Amino acid sequence: GDTAFLSKLGDDDFADMAMKAWDEAGVHPVVTRDPSSYTGAAYIFIEESTGNNAIIIAPGAAASISPADMDANSALIGSAKVFVTQLEQPLDAAALKIARAGGAATILNPAPAQKLDNSVFALCDYVTPNETETEILTGLPVTNIEEAKVAAGRLLELGVKTAIITLGEKGALYHSATESVLVPPFNAGPVKETGDAFNGGFAAALSKGMSPLEAVRFGSAVAGISVTRAGTAPSMPTLAEVEALLAKS
């Protein structure tokens, strides 16, 4: 996809690594580098037997992202087809409003999970929590598919247009006002570690004009490949790899 990444970084080696990764991937970085802070990092603990992880976030410079930063980039945000945000930086409802006003599909990946005001949900075309994040957002248990459907319905009641609950090895539940579909996972090989590839794949697919359900399937294929590899950015597949997996599934 034609992607712009808006963030704040420190003036350090991690920032240099990020800029190099974006350059190699063809991503347009819209970043401010703050020498008085540090680049945000995630410390990831992996369960060897399953590949499941627990993540400690140190947001660094990203914690200072403000409404003023969103206003300064309102033309970019307002021109997007798809706008994705998450909770590793202060959630800025102003950015969601700008994106909505420009006609973008708005996606909130609510991680790390926290309770949110209902006004935020009303600005989200898609919310993409995992099981634990769904429980925090809704106060409802998510231990099986039926419970996931109930919790997804609660997210719609809170104002979300469509809930997509990622369920690991069970797949992804797509739940809107008109349909509820469990998209099965893609088996691309043994799991090495879990990650965050789904949202990028889903957003890219939407930007290319796929239907929401097709985009969930595409994002699931992206995730299916990524979990067979170690690392975060290095585990992300190419478009050709995703298309090959989709073609044989």
- Would you call 196 a catalytic residue per the annotation? yes
**By three-state DSSP, how is residue 37 classified?**
coil
Q: Which of 69, 92, 125, 196 is catalytic?
A: 196
Overall size of the chain counted in residues:
249
DSSP state string for 164-175: EEE-GGG-EEEE
Asked if omega into 112 is within 30° of 0 (cis), the reply is yes
β-pairing, 180-183 with 172-175? antiparallel
123: closest CA among 104, 96, 103? 96
Measured on CA atoms in the order 174, 175, 177, 178, is the torsion positive or negative? positive
Strand partners, 57: 42
User: From the centroid of its chain, how far is CA 191?
Assistant: 20
**Enzyme catalytic residues:** 196
